[in-house]
Amino acid sequence: MAASSSLQFTATPFNQFHSKQVPKHATKWGTIRCSAASPSKSYNITLLPGDGIGPEVISVAKNALQLVASIEGFEVAFEEMPMGGAALDAVGVPLPAETLNSAKRSDATLLGAIGGYKWDKNEKHLKPETGLLQLREGLQVFANLRPATVLPQLVDASTLKKEVAEGVDLMVVRELTGGIYFGKPRGFSTNENGQEIGFNTEVYAAYEIDRIARIAFETARKRRGKLCSVDKANVLEASMLWRKIVTALASEYPDVELSHMYVDNAAMQLVRNPKQFDTIVTNNIFGDILSDEASMITGSIGMLPSASLGAAGPGLFEPIHGSAPDIAGQDKANPLATMLSAAMLLKYGLGEEKAAQRIEAAVLDALNRGFRTGDIHSAGHKLVGCKEMGEEVLKSIDSKTPAAV
Ligand SMILES: NC(=O)c1ccc[n+]([C@@H]2O[C@H](COP(=O)([O-])OP(=O)(O)OC[C@H]3O[C@@H](n4cnc5c(N)ncnc54)[C@H](O)[C@@H]3O)[C@@H](O)[C@H]2O)c1
Ligand SMILES: CC(C)[C@H](C(=O)O)[C@@H](O)C(=O)O
């Protein structure tokens, strides 16, 4: 697997493509260029739009994938499948077997988001969220990479002071298929006083900690060489084992500076001085919470992509945000987290690094040209909706020379 390098946001000059070399087809949002020769490579991508803003952001990211594929000379075939609440409504389960099979057969899967008020009171096995956990488990994608980078263009969108937010570039490596999300026993019961109880189990086997820690050390090695392992080893046995195994591995990575931090302190340090962090490795639930917190340093949860990878097989790529029912269907969603997830799909899932860089550079270019969705908008910028932001990124993809990315 290629779970190793960080997202590189490289500002690129606005240049013209060498249009003589390749034929063009005009579309409503730009120009698809087809190489004279037939594309030699072809990839199958499963698309899971899901619920709420999911379909809005996936539609934009799909266009970006199509455009960069046509420029780079490979083909992408999409299979769109129901997932989450949409699947519950259509076939009565949150993850139909056909959807999981499609994801397993594919080269990579791109998910929008799942969930919404409509299904909140469903029994656990009929919740959209259960479908997402089944998908992650089914694909065995135990390593979730969540980069949080404060782009120079968005420093003002951060709720933190400029001097605190500026230059933040960190990666949360979240364990994704273990811990309290999957631990047994779990359930509802009655205690000795006849009171109703709900219970879950935080459990990690040594091999689960070892494999995520290795991914984290490798990730840190390719970044700035600093790894902070976040746990609750002052209280929880599962965290005590976590710390022991991570510490033991450090001798295999002498070039990586390892530190440990309790999760309550980490939550505080992230807003006090986020620049102290390079790579953070943590368990499933702490990673869920800390990555949402990290997203706000960057300006909005609408900016944060993620890649979920296993030891083998296709990866799952998704923005870290949810279905945002409060803005769904209003063309207000920020599609950039999903476009950047599509870039992670190209880079980590397909090994198409140049195509990934095209999307990253185009996102920066659209921001440079002043376009902002509501969540990252500030005075002096052009407020646009989800579709228009997507179109502006497509224009930026279309205008870059290969040398510029
Ligand atoms: N991976 C996923 O599919 C995923 C992740 C988190 C939450 N959820 C589900 O989503 C539903 C809503 O959860 P929530 O409200 O706690 O979290 P959320 O991330 O959906 O929304 C939190 C806030 O952030 C805003 N927001 C989120 N994404 C945005 C975007 N792209 N652009 C602009 N604003 C954005 C929303 O409008 C909302 O105000 C729940 O059912 C939850 O279980 C799904
Ligand atoms: C929707 C939910 C199951 C999910 C999680 O807790 O992992 C979400 O919060 C996320 O971060 O992708």
**H or E segment to which residue 197 belongs:** strand 196-199
What is residue 223's predicted lDDT score, i.e. its pLDDT?
Answer: 98
What are the DSSP calls for 1-30, one per residue?
Answer: --TTPPP-----------TTSS-EEEETTE
Task: Please answer whether residues 158 and 303 qualify as being in contact, where contact means their C-beta atoms are separated by less than 8 angstroms.
Answer: no
What is residue 40's predicted lDDT score, i.e. its pLDDT?
Answer: 80
Going from the C-alpha of 404 to that of each of 9, 14, 355, 358, 369, the distances in angstroms are 13, 8, 12, 9, 17
Question: Are 295 and 347 contained in the same domain?
Answer: no
What is residue 39's predicted lDDT score, i.e. its pLDDT?
Answer: 63
Q: Write the residue with the smallest CA distance to atom 6 of ligand 1.
A: 322
Q: Reduced to 3 DSSP states, what percent helix, strand and coil does the chain have, rounded to the nearest 5?
A: 45, 20, 35
CA 156 – CA 296 distance, rounded (Å): 12
Please identify, among 299, 315, 330, the residue that sits at the C-terminal boundary of a domain.
Answer: 299
Phi, psi of 393 (to 5 degrees): -65, -40
Going from the C-alpha of 150 to that of each of 119, 132, 376, the distances in angstroms are 34, 28, 12
- CA 196 to chain centroid, in Å, comes to 37
Question: Are 120 and 162 contained in the same domain?
Answer: no
Give which of 131, 42, 52 is closest to 338, Cα–Cα.
52
Query: Strand locations in 39-195, DSSP E?
Result: 41-50, 74-80, 108-113, 143-149, 169-175, 187-190
CA 198 – CA 203 distance, rounded (Å): 17
Please identify, among 275, 299, 323, the residue that sits at the C-terminal boundary of a domain.
Answer: 299
Cis omega (within 30 of 0) for bond into 39: no
| CA–centroid distance, residue 288 to ligand 2 (Å) | 6
Choose, from 127, 169, 181, 278, the residue flagged as catalytic.
Answer: 181
The minimum-distance atom of ligand 1 relative to the CA of 324 is 20
Shortest-distance ligand to the CA of residue 176: 2
What is residue 400's predicted lDDT score, i.e. its pLDDT?
Answer: 62
| CA–centroid distance, residue 388 to ligand 2 (Å) | 28
Question: Are 134 and 112 contained in the same domain?
Answer: yes
Task: Please answer whether residues 128 and 88 qualify as being in contact, where contact means their C-beta atoms are separated by less than 8 angstroms.
Answer: yes
CATH number at residue 217: 3.40.50
Q: Is 348 a catalytic residue?
A: no
| CA–centroid distance, residue 65 to ligand 2 (Å) | 24
Q: Write the residue with the smallest CA distance to atom 3 of ligand 2.
A: 129
Task: Please answer whether residues 243 and 272 qualify as being in contact, where contact means their C-beta atoms are separated by less than 8 angstroms.
Answer: no
Q: Is 51 a catalytic residue?
A: no
Strands 315-317 and 307-309: antiparallel
Q: Is 181 a catalytic residue?
A: yes
| Residue 123 in domain | yes
Residues in the chain, total: 405
CA 65 – CA 57 distance, rounded (Å): 13
Is residue 320 in contact with ligand 2, taking CB distance under 6 Å? yes
Residue numbers of the chain with a pLDDT score lower than 50 = 1-37, 402-403, 405
Question: Are 286 and 330 contained in the same domain?
Answer: no
Domain that holds residue 165: 155-175+205-299
Is residue 288 in contact with ligand 2, taking CB distance under 6 Å? yes
Choose, from 62, 232, 332, 347, the residue flagged as catalytic.
Answer: 232
Choose, from 264, 326, 354, 382, the residue flagged as catalytic.
Answer: 264
Question: Are 115 and 43 contained in the same domain?
Answer: yes
Complex confidence, ipTM:
0.99
The minimum-distance atom of ligand 2 relative to the CA of 133 is 3
Question: Are 164 and 211 contained in the same domain?
Answer: yes
Question: Are 224 and 335 contained in the same domain?
Answer: no
pLDDT tens-place string over residues 38-61: 568 999 999 999 999 999 999 999
What are the DSSP calls for 148-182, one per residue?
Answer: EE--GGGGGGSSS-HHHHTT-EEEEEEE-SSGGGT
For the record, the structure tokens of 317 come out as 């790529």
Interacting residues of 73 by C-beta distance below 8 A, sequence separation 6+: 35, 37, 39, 40, 41
Please identify, among 244, 273, 299, the residue that sits at the C-terminal boundary of a domain.
Answer: 299
- Angle at Cα 108 formed by Cα 203 and Cα 130, nearest 5°? 40
Q: Is 288 a catalytic residue?
A: yes
Question: Are 292 and 323 contained in the same domain?
Answer: no
Count up the domains in the chain and report the number: 2
CATH number at residue 366: 3.40.718.10
| CA–centroid distance, residue 333 to ligand 2 (Å) | 18
Question: Are 159 and 289 contained in the same domain?
Answer: yes
Question: Are 306 and 228 contained in the same domain?
Answer: no
Strands 108-113 and 74-80: unpaired
Question: Are 218 and 273 contained in the same domain?
Answer: yes
| CA–centroid distance, residue 324 to ligand 1 (Å) | 4
